[in-house]
Structure 1
Amino acid sequence: MRQQIFLYLFVFSALLALYLAFTGSRNLEGLEKKINALEQEQEALRDSLKDSRLDLLDLQYFSLGNNDEALAYYDHLGLEDPSRYIADKLLETNEASGNNPLVPYEGMEGDFKINKIEILNHRWIIADFSDGKYWGELLIQYELRDDLGVDFTLLGHLLYTRSQ
């Protein structure tokens, strides 16, 4: 009887080992498929990130912060961030009551104020203005003087009309 118990235990152990080996290999195959899928997704995300970085560099091409020659123009003034300084000076023109003095249009739904500014180089700015409903764009020439004053001259402007 003792031999039969050992035989049954041996057969049971063999079946259990076979079952564990079979399910383990299936689990391993499933995990390998998941790993491969995640690796492909990771590679796709890396490619997407690379494309996004290239797009960002393209968008920043016309920017004072990325233009070493234009920044060198301001080295003697000792400004840490000329772009921020000039943008702040331009936004100060919004503080006057009524329309911004650089905007050559009368506000229809309120006063026209400058909203968004992109400093292209050491001479030009493109800016967006709006009264809350109507909007337009300005091309502004500026000069940063040695006394850190800024002179703005309007070069071009446009107002978008609504077509309904």
Structure 2
Amino acid sequence: MYLFIFTLLILLFQYMTSKQVFDDSNKTVASYKAQTEKYKDSIVALNNKITDLSLFDIEWNDPALSYFEDSGYNVSQLLPLIKDGLYQQNETKGQHPLIPYASSEGNRMQINSIRILNHKWIICNFTDGEFSGELFIKYFIDDNSQLEYIVEDSFLYRM
């Protein structure tokens, strides 16, 4: 009789422990499913944002890329040259040739980042540490395959 009661108590203890472990694992799985859905929504939102940002980027602009290819240029080599040409302007002595604003004391205006919009336009930002702004640049390649940059518009604001 004692053996039967002892066995029944052990079985009851194992059942309760197993049930608790099973319930905990179901709760964990449910929370993971909820997190997965949340992350899927975040991924969709980020993909939509990437799609929106790629609308104004030459790498996703087939007509602009075709313009360069039809003109006989290798796009994979030309795009870095366009950016490098702008960054090289940072190395000139004195006033920056493209930035129409004077820098603050002891600092120098420099172009930080560049986005080539299409086969004619570029936007970039610049700063000297205290002031910053953006440039809208028109560019073209002349008959001697030299890049020329023309600042169409710019603005400056205090950081």
TM-score, structure 2 length as denominator?
A: 0.89
Provide Cα deviations, 1:52-73, integer angstroms capped at 9, x if missing partner.
1111221222011111111111
CA distance in 2, matches of 1:40, 1:113: 47
Deviation of 1:149 after TM superposition, in Å, equals 2.1
Provide Cα deviations, 1:126-154, integer angstroms capped at 9, x if missing partner.
11111221112111000134654211111
Please point out which of 17, 37, 43 is paired with 1:43.
37
In structure 1, runs of 5+ residues without a counterpart are 1-6
Structure 2 counterparts to residues 7-46 of structure 1, below 5 A: 7-46=1-40
Max Rg structure: 1
CA distance in 1, matches of 2:36, 2:96: 49
Please point out which of 116, 129, 142 is paired with 2:113.
116
Identity of aligned residues (%): 33
Secondary structure of 1:101 counterpart: coil
Deviation of 1:92 after TM superposition, in Å, equals 1.0
Structure 2 counterparts to residues 2-151 of structure 1, below 5 A: 7-75=1-69, 76-109=72-105, 110-145=107-142, 148-151=145-148
Secondary structure of 1:139 counterpart: strand
Tell me how large the CA RMSD over aligned residues is.
Answer: 1.8
Deviation >6 Å, runs of 4+: none
Moved more, 147-156 or 113-122: 147-156
Q: Is the 8 A contact 2:125 2:135 kept in 1?
A: yes
Deviation of 1:113 after TM superposition, in Å, equals 1.5
